[in-house]
Amino acid sequence: MTEQIIARFTFKPDRAAEFLFDEGQLVSELQVDTVDEVMEYVMQFDDALLDASAIINGQVISLTDFPTIPSEEEEV
């Protein structure tokens, strides 16, 4: 059985217009094939996100609590 994975992203209000078409919209969902694909989006858009979650076969998993690899700008 193939897993159904939906990525749900909540963008920061000052950055949402860069990613979403409707004014005032902050949340977007995207159907993806793997959890790795969700994490790629999270790492790519990290500085613009307030929250990210994956819905896998109806179970919601918050990705906000998982650490990400720091970007080169954040490394000291």
Rounded CA separation 37/25 (Å) = 23
CB atoms within 10 A of CB 29: 11
Instruction: Examine residue 69 and state whether it is found in any structural domain, yes or no.
Output: no
Instruction: Examine residue 18 and state whether it is found in any structural domain, yes or no.
Output: yes
Provide the pLDDT confidence category of residue 68 given band limits of 50, 70 and 90. low
Instruction: Examine residue 43 and state whether it is found in any structural domain, yes or no.
Output: yes
Q: What is the per-residue DSSP string for the chain?
A: -PPPEEEEEEE-TTTGGGT-SSTT--EEEEEES-HHHHHHHHHHHGGGEEEEEEEETTEEEESTTS--PPPTTT--
Q: Is the pTM of this model over 0.85?
A: no
Q: What is the pLDDT of residues 13-66, one digit of tens each?
A: 999 999 998 888 999 999 999 988 988 998 899 899 999 999 998 899 887 766
Instruction: Examine residue 26 and state whether it is found in any structural domain, yes or no.
Output: yes
Number of domains in the chain: 1
Residue 9, domain extent: 5-62
Instruction: Examine residue 44 and state whether it is found in any structural domain, yes or no.
Output: yes
Instruction: Examine residue 74 and state whether it is found in any structural domain, yes or no.
Output: no
